[in-house]
Amino acid sequence: MKLPLAKIKPILYKAILISSSLVFLFVLSVYWGAWGDLPDNDDLLELSQQEASTIYDVNNELIGSFFLTDRQPIKQDEIPEHLRQALLATEDIRFYEHHGIDYKSLARVFFKSILLQDRSGGGGSTLTQQLAKNLFPRKSFGPLTLPVNKTKEMLIAKRLEHLYTKEELLLLYLNAVPFSGNTYGIESASFKFFNKKAAELSVVEAATLIGTLKATYSYNPQQFPERSLKRRNTVLDQMEKYGFLSSDRVDSLQEAPLELSFNKYDPLSGLAPYFREALRVQMNELLAKNDIYNLYTSGLKIHTTLDAEMQRLAEKAAETHMNRLQNNYENEYGANPPWSKKGALFQNEVKKLSAYRKLGDSLTHDEKIKALAKIRTAKLPKNLRTTRPLGSPLDSLEIALKQLSLGFVAMDPQSGAVRAWIGGADFKQSKYDHVRSSKRQVGSTFKPIVYITALEQGIDPCSYFSARQVSYENLENWTPSNSGNRDEAYLNYSMSAALSKSINTVAVKVLEEAGIQNTIQQARKMGIQSDLPEVPSIALGTASLSVLEMAKAYSAVVNQGNVAKPHIWNTVTTKKGDTLYQYKAKADPPAFSKRTQELILEMMKETVRTGTAERIRSSYGLRNAMAAKTGTTQANKDAWFVALMPEMVTVTWVGNDNYQIGFKSTALGQGANAALPVTARWLQALNRNSRFDSITKASFPQVDPEVTAMLDCEPTKRDGFLKRLFTNPDKTKTKKFRKRNSN
């Protein structure tokens, strides 16, 4: 039985009235904060977006960032017109007509999408509502989650429209909207997918990125290129529909292929990863007590000391040398290297693997080895001898054991500003930093500190010391030796010649005259803080120090005796440009006298002219003003090279992370062969670039004639006939090592 129309109308009106009242009360409850407070005007005027902190080199080149979400904001004049048009045509064509809520779109959604279940009807959210959603993430309210959040976004959108101009809202949207791959803002997305600024995007590139906004995962152009291309062309159709593009132009644009230049920022790769990690640690320490700013979300601008181009050239030089050295290293060991799976070292190291320990105690060692060999999931690092993409944990261990590593730092000796920093061969494979964290025996690179101490003690640089081997009976017959020939037992070296030739026996005798405690005190004045063994072998570099400590100590040799403290950042500013922190160096008294500085510098120049670093001239053709020192430790486990120039100090270390493995021969593993070439190749590259002329063409100050006179002596003196007659070079002299008290 049908009800008469007269009776239906009152029921219908009542239903509409009740529904409208309920909707009104619901909206009012949201407005009053029953479902959580809405942001007030002050909150909206101080919009807080998580913004990456950016890292710049000394020439203001962007070299990386610290972020939770990858976000780089842009300015109004950096938005290309076709990007704006693509956004409006696709997301909100009536953006300039509504005031935060597009009632026409809401009506379309209600009738077409809800009542008629036609998904082609699209959504009803305006750009301003989407902005509200991005700035204030949705919360769960059970079955009312969607209506509560949608209502909140509408109310926030109305407030935003009242507080900001349309252009400001558009800019806020483009800086806040999420793109594919945890990327926020058009600038970050542009760099990630096309390796260019948003201002440089072409029409098809802009359409590609705007197309991803509908579904950032489904339309990710890297993961789903065909789907992304189709969506891009839909955006171009929309631009034609609303008169932003002609039909002919759209046809040609839609035929263009999807060409990406993917440039995802990866903290494990990119330029200077070890430097950036050291910077991250320092910045977190700096901001630890700051309640306002956060390294990952506050958009700070960190201006560092690094020179990006110097770093690139250093990384290239290191890669070229290390690839060649690694190949020679493996070839020299041949078929039975110490890292062989059959060797005792490998069998001992495999027990430390977590995969080995997880197998429990029920299996024997051999059974565990067989089980591990069958696992084929471990990724193998890039290596000249390995082409397999996957391997067992045993394969990975074998490669790790044979892998050489390095540490390299280049520093301004006057200011301590670090210009280049390489902490290892591959940051993805090993985060261990051989510049700041690793401490290895420094070998002969410690000898100049011994000689500096001697000079400070008033010992004449032309004093002669016998190179003859001595066995020190009060040191358990410790007998330091040289790598020279038998006839060396008859030679007496001046201090300068002994240093340039790195004569071990003389270094110990100079230490005996200078005093061990005096030498340790001198090292402390030069900024060395690590433990120093109070033993005579310290003269031969048995102390374990870091690359950064060595650079710090050696800065005094070219800086009037003043130690330059290494630092890696200059200023930290807020995103508005206000200075938050500025690095200020603390001046300490000179580590030694200017006269000693001039003398030791001249003595170390001789190392380049005729000594152990001579190949930097002969083999690499470098004529830069330079002093240097090489270092090689016992069993060829550590190779060092220190280069001193008027405007730059470099320190290089090369070796195996596993201290049980050294180079097989001194010829390959000595500092002049394993470490020196990194600096040499780097300097060759710098010399070819006129931008670095102020460094590469710098000259040392003219030598004081008095210094020249103090060093004017024969490098060696041969024992007289009678002394040679009664000296048996094959018989080691025995004596007690004399320990001096410190002065």
Give the tens place of pLDDT for each residue, 601-642.
999 999 999 999 999 999 999 999 999 999 999 999 999 999
* pLDDT, greater one: 166 or 44: 166
Q: Does residue 492 carry a pLDDT above 60? A: yes
Query: Hey, how many other C-beta atoms are within 10 angstroms of the C-beta on 43?
Result: 15
Indicate whether 388 pLDDT > 60. no
pTM of the model: 0.79
Mean pLDDT of 400-408: 95
pLDDT (tens digit, 9 = 90+) per residue, 495-552?
Answer: 999 999 999 999 999 999 999 999 999 999 999 999 999 999 999 999 999 999 999 9
Asked whether 655 and 438 are in contact (CB, 8 A), the reply is no
Q: How far is CA 398 from CA 38, 385, 391, 519, in A?
A: 59, 12, 11, 41
Residue 113's pLDDT band, with cuts at 50, 70 and 90, is: very low
Could you give the CA distance from residue 64 to residue 280 in angstroms, rounded to a whole number? 11
Answer whether residue 402 shows pLDDT above 90.
yes
Residue 517: Cβ within 10 Å count: 15
Please, what sign has the CA dihedral across residues 661, 655, 381, 363? positive
Would you state the pLDDT for residue 265?
58
Yes or no: say if 628 and 616 are a contact pair by the CB < 8 Å rule: yes
Burial class (CB in 10 A: 0-12, 13-18, 19+), 45: exposed
Which tokens belong to 580? 């938050």
Lookup: tokens for 555: 């800065």
